[in-house]
Amino acid sequence: MASNVNPTVRRRRLGLELRRLRELKGMTAEEVAERLLVSQSKISRLENGRRSISQRDVRDLCGVYEVDDHRIVDSLMQMAKDSRQQGWWHAFGDIPYSVYIGLETDAASLRVYEPQVVPGLLQTRQYAEALIAGALPESGVPDIEKRVSVRLRRQDRVKADGQPLRLWAVIDEAALHRVVGGKNLMREQLEYLIELSQLPHVTVQVLPFDMGAHPGINGQYAILEFPDATDSSGVYIEGVTSDLYLEKANDVHKYSVMYEHLRAQALNVDQTRSFIENIVKRYMTS
C-alpha cells in the first residue's frame, strides 16, 4: 500500500461504508451493539471515523450484516489495516486536533473564516511562535516549537506544486490590527499575507469593521471539501479543549450559506490587498 495513504480519511471512508451496510440490513446502531455485546457509542464512533477500526471489528460487523461477498470483506479489511497506519503528524507525538489535521491533509479545498488572527495556513514562523506563546502562556519552549513545526508542515499543502489546497480565507479586520509579537513582526506577516494572496489557488478577503454585524460574528469556522465524491464535506469549529466536526448535510449547508454572505460582505481581492497595504504602511511609520 502506498505510503501516502491518509489514515484519517481512510477511517472515515470505512466508517461510511459500514454505516451503509448497517442501513441496508435495516438495523439500528443499538441493535448492532447488542448483537456484538459492545456499547452503542462504539458503533457510532466507528461509523463516524472517530475511533480506530480493527480488522476484527470489520469481520464481526460483516458477520452481523451477512456480507457474503469475500471481495467486499477483503476490501474492507484492507481499509481497516490502512486506517491504522500513522500520518506524518504522528511523528510529532501527541498533538491537539490531529483528526482535523488528517482531514485537512486530504482536503481539496478549504474555506475558512478567522475573526481574531491570521489563518494558520497563512502565518509566518515568527507570527506563529508569538501567537502560540501568547495563547498558551503555560506551555514550555519544546511544546511551542512542536506546535509551530506542525503548523508549518500543514502549510505544505498551500505551497505544493502538484495539487495544492484551494484556500479561501475571509479575515476580520481585527486580525490585522492585533499586534502579535510587535509591529515589525506584524508588518512582515501582512506582507507575507499579500504575497500568498497572489497565488492562483489562494483567495484572501478582509471583512472591515464598518460592515457591522455579520454571519461570522459567533466565531471561527472552516469548511472542508474532498476530491473523492464518497467523502462528505464537513465543518470544523475549533475549541479551547476540544473541537467540533459537523458532517450532516443540513449543518454543512447552513455554514456554506453563511460563508457566501461573508464573502459577499467582505472587500474583494483587489480592495483587500490595498487595504492590507495601507495597514502595512502604518506599521512602518509608527
pLDDT at 186: 97
* Mean pLDDT score, 32-58: 87
The Cα 50–Cα 68 span in angstroms is: 27
Which of 69-83, 136-150, 189-203, 228-242 shows the lowest per-residue confidence on average (mean pLDDT)?
Answer: 228-242
The Cα 246–Cα 235 span in angstroms is: 5
Task: Give 59-115 pLDDT, tens digit per residue.
Answer: 999 999 999 888 888 888 888 887 777 777 777 877 777 778 888 888 899 999 999
pLDDT at 270 over 50: yes
Q: Is the pTM of this model over 0.95?
A: no
CATH of region 7-85: 1.10.260.40
* Position 230 confidence tier, pLDDT thresholds 50, 70, 90: low
pLDDT at 30: 92
pLDDT at 187: 97
Q: Closest Cα to residue 168, out of 242, 98, 225, 217?
A: 225
Structural fold of domain 89-285: Endonuclease; Chain A (3.30.870)
The DSSP element (H or E) to which 223 belongs, if any, is strand 221-225
The Cα 245–Cα 243 span in angstroms is: 7
Q: How far is CA 168 from the centre of its chain?
A: 13
Cβ distance 207 to 173 under 8 Å? yes
Every domain of the chain with CATH number 3.30.870 lies at: 89-285
pLDDT at 91: 77
pLDDT at 2 over 60: no
The Cα 165–Cα 107 span in angstroms is: 7
DSSP-assigned letters across all residues of 225-280: E-SSTTSPPEEEEE-SS-EEEE--HHHHHHHHHHHHHHHHHS--HHHHHHHHHHHH
The Cα 246–Cα 1 span in angstroms is: 30
* Position 267 confidence tier, pLDDT thresholds 50, 70, 90: very high
pLDDT at 276: 97
Every domain of the chain with CATH number 1.10.260.40 lies at: 7-85
**Mean pLDDT score of the chain:** 88
pLDDT at 3: 39
pLDDT at 62: 92
- The dihedral through the CA atoms of 158, 80, 235, 120 has a sign that is negative
Q: Which amino acid, residue 179?
A: V
pLDDT at 283 over 70: yes
Query: What cell numbers appear for 258 in the block?
Result: 453563511
